[in-house]
């Protein structure tokens, strides 16, 4: 995907795109058919992996038909049934049996978030490695500490990098906790009454089989308890918060009048359409953009959660889908940009020392080395194989 309104969006690839969301909904329906067969609710002959029935080319027709029922599952099931009838009428009769639209939408969204978590975790691993190298390599690089925009007591760039690292590790912990995502199977009103023809234990078993097939956690229905969604959104915002913190420092320290840091160079990056002499810190600008917009998207999801009612909400549930997709894609884009920034940032030690000497500040660094060591030890534990 590309997006003229969000330069760099292509870094997120097909994450939570309309095409991948459609594929995820089909995946949920296929996994449910398998679960019904494996739990001996449906006959063995009624399983179909639904391959080849729907393609990305069907997005437009399904989207155009979604308004009638307020969600894309209803037209999707209609298309699948119509095409299954041509392949195997018996299977068509079992498709979607025991599910409701919210089960399919929520579980498909969770699959997209699971993909986002994997991508974020891979980028965080790169970022931790880069920051460890910066903290270790520059633990003795003296620079002016700044408070309330003014020069204060001395620090080292190694300490600054360690503080970036500490914020990133905090965000990584939040992401790891939120990434234990559950499937959603509740049926029409969260009772699972339709799942196994009146056998409560079998209904629970079918739901567990679905979760196992999709690599998700299992648990009770969470129709109008949106904790899994808001926790994951908060984790993404925590990541963009940490990235924004880094980008803000780079933006300040790369100002020509300070010139203590500079972004990695790339052909055409940072150019100005009107001022050829400029090289703008574009990576940091775009990372900061994500940090500034992420909290509002997270707040929208909390508002939706607070407005949930009954066993399926009238409108607040519907606001989540595009909001989640936007937040996840923007976080992944920012993560990729932050990795590139940290792996290529130039640190100008001599300029840092010159600025500090010009301020006439002392050189008492307090517990700087001990602080750096503590953060690096935490990073080493993070990097150990789990």
Do residues 375 and 165 make contact, with C-beta atoms less than 8 angstroms apart? yes
CB 232, CB 179: distance < 8 Å: yes
312 is an active site residue: yes
**Catalytic annotation present for 20:** no
Active-site residue, from 226, 288, 312, 329: 312
**305 neighbors 317 (Cβ within 8 angstroms):** no
And the tokens for 234?
A: 């908060």
How far apart CA 359 and CA 254 sit, in angstroms, is 19
* Helix/strand/coil (H/E/C) assignment for every residue in the chain: CCCCCCCCHHHHCCCCCHHHHHHHHHHHHHHHHHHHHHCCCCCHHHCCCCCCCCCHHHHHHHHHHHHHCCCCHHHHHHHHHHHHHHHCHHHHHHCCCCCCHHHHHHHHHHHHHHHHHHHHHHHHHHHHHHHHHHHHHCCCCEEEEEECCEEEEEEEHHHHHHHHHHHHHHHHHHHHHHCCCECCCCHHHCCCCCCCCCCHHHHHHHHHHHHHHHCCECCCCCCCCCHHHHHHHHHHHHHHHHHHHHHHHHHHHCCCCCCCEECCCCCCCCCCCCCCCCCCCHHHHHHHHHHHHHHHHHHHHHHHHHCCCCCCCCCHHHHHHHHHHHHHHHHHHHHHHHHHHHHHCEECHHHHHHHHHHHCCCCCCCCHHHHHHHHHHHHHHHHCCC
Contact (CB, 8 A) for 308 and 224: yes
Q: Exactly one of 45, 87, 269, 272 is catalytic; which is it? A: 272
Q: How many CA atoms lie within 13 A of 65 on its CB side?
A: 13
Active site amino acids: 272, 312
């Amino acid at each position: 995907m590309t997006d003229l309104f969000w330069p760099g969006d292509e870094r997120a690839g097909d994450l939570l795109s309309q095409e991948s969301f459609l594929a995820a909904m089909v995946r949920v329906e296929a996994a449910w058919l398998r679960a019904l067969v494996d739990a001996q609710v449906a006959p063995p002959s009624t399983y179909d992996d639904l391959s080849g029935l729907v393609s990305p080319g069907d997005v437009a027709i399904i989207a155009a038909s979604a308004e009638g029922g307020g969600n894309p599952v209803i037209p999707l099931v209609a298309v699948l049934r119509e095409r299954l009838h041509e392949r195997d009428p018996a299977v068509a009769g079992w498709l979607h049996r025991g599910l409701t639209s919210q089960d399919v939408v929520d579980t498909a969204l969770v699959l997209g978030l699971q993909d986002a978590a994997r991508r974020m975790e891979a980028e965080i691993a790169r970022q931790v490695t880069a920051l460890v190298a910066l903290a270790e390599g520059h633990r003795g690089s003296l620079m002016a500490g700044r408070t309330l925009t003014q020069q204060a007591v001395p620090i080292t760039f190694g300490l600054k990098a360690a503080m970036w690292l500490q914020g990133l590790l905090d965000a990584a912990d939040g992401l790891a906790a939120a990434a234990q995502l559950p499937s959603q199977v509740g049926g029409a009103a969260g009772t699972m009454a339709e799942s196994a023809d009146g056998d409560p234990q079998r209904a629970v078993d079918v739901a567990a089989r679905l979760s196992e097939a999709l690599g998700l956690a299992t648990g009770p229905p969470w129709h109008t308890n949106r904790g899994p969604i808001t926790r994951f959104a908060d984790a993404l915002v925590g990541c963009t918060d940490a990235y924004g913190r880094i980008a803000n420092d780079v933006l300040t320290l790369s100002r020509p009048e300070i010139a203590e840091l500079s972004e990695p160079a790339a052909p055409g990056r940072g150019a100005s359409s009107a001022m050829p002499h400029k090289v703008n810190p574009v990576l940091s600008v775009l990372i900061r953009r994500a940090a500034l917009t992420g909290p509002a998207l997270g707040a929208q999801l909390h508002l939706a959660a607070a407005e949930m009612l009954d066993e399926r909400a009238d409108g607040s549930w519907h606001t989540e889908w595009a909001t989640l997709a936007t937040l996840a894609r923007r976080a992944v884009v920012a993560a990729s940009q932050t990795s590139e920034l940290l792996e290529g940032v130039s640190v100008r030690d001599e300029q840092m020392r010159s600025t500090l000497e010009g301020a006439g500040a002392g050189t008492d660094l307090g517990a700087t080395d001990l602080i750096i060591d503590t953060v690096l030890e935490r990073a080493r534990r993070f990097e150990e194989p789990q």
